[in-house]
Amino acid sequence: MTIKNDKWIIEQASQGMIVPFEAKSIRKAAFNDKQEVGTISWGLSSYGYDIRLSPHDFRIFRHIPGTVVDPKNFNPKNLEPAELHFDTDGSSYFIIPANSYGLGASLESIKMPANVTAICLGKSTYARVGVIANITPLESSWHGRSITLEFSNASSADVKIYANEGVVQLLFFEGEPCQTTYADRGGKYQNQSAGVTLPIV
């Protein structure tokens, strides 16, 4: 199995693997016609690609007395939409309360090649403030209008998580062609729509 480099990612992106695509690491941007400011980076790196958090859908788990969260029979009422806030510099963010868990979505659409699997890893900037991104695989031939992303705030303080900025990195691994891809077996999260996709059995 081989980890793929920036040249390969650029080539695959030209064929629609990542949309929209930035062919370099973006560390400054202007939001809402404001002056350019420093951001949590996104775009191409040497052996990966940092994707951004969508501002359109972020949900926080909440406790409903007398209920248990069941991944096989999920109650959407266990999640509540988080409010999108704005800083004076034009950047936007959600708040993950202390010791809680949230679901977001990527801004980018992804279309995986048939012999490649990607792993989503958290960015160190968030890891250092207690936000953990669950390691999620994007299997061979998976595609969707966004990736549902999972975050845990392990700290005892509320934490901002910025929309339209880098939030996780994708690492791409190429292997020998598999017998059955995710698309072939009709994976339950195939053709995921934009926004958060809830647990499906």
Helix (H, G, I), strand (E, B) or coil at 80: strand
Q: Which of 22, 139, 150, 176 is catalytic?
A: 150
What would the two tokens of residue 55 be? 């501002």
Number of neighbours of residue 121 by Cβ within 10 angstroms = 17
Half-sphere exposure of 136 (CA within 13 A, CB side): 17
Q: Is 165 a catalytic residue?
A: no
What's phi and psi for 65, nearest 5 deg? -50, 135
What would the two tokens of residue 30 be? 């202007």
What DSSP letter does each residue of 28-64 carry, written as one string?
A: EE--TT---EEEEEEEEETTEEEEEB-SS--EEE---
Provide the annotated active-site residues: 150
